[in-house]
Amino acid sequence: MIELRPNPFDPLLELGRYQSKLTDKCGAYGATAIFIGTMRDFNEGETVHRLELEHYPGMTEQVLETIVQEAKNHWAVVDVFVLHRVGEVTPSQTLVLISVWAAHRLEAIEANQFILEALKHRAPFWKKETLDDRSRWVCLNTAGKGSKK
């Protein structure tokens, strides 16, 4: 299932709610891989106060569905849940929850990582950061850039 949400959410509460509905799949999975992405208060060496996350309704969900289907085609996945924020996000709020259920841990972990990376590079989201003195559009994926010093 794919869901885009404009309001803050508790990722572990949402995970529990979703998993409680998987009663028809009990016994089919032995692993759950979870990724929770949270907004940082910095990017490219500057303090970020707010993030405006825009998307193209309909198109964004379709791209995410395609990504999830690709994962299901490649790995023996039992179920997938992707919950992503849109709208205004502030530091420490959850941006994304990706959960993958599979029979074995390696399948769950690899499928989860695939979905995350594909989402970061292919899903039509546009990010506008509010800094101390201006705002700017985020042009690059910041994965692997190291940590704040």
Compute mean pLDDT per 10 residues along the chain, 149 residues long, and list them. 98 97 93 98 96 96 98 98 98 98 98 98 96 93 46
- In eight-state DSSP terms, residue 25 is G
Residue 26 is predicted with a pLDDT of 87
φ, ψ for residue 32, nearest 5 deg = -130, 120
- In eight-state DSSP terms, residue 123 is S
Q: Which CATH number fits domain 2-21+30-137: 3.30.70.890, 3.90.1170.40, 1.10.10.60, 3.50.50.60?
A: 3.90.1170.40
Residue 141 is predicted with a pLDDT of 62
The encoded tokens of residue 41 equal 């208060």
Q: Report in angstroms the alpha-carbon separations of 28 from 39, 41, 87, 132.
A: 33, 40, 36, 50
Q: Which residue, chain included where needed, has tokens 């042009």?
A: 139
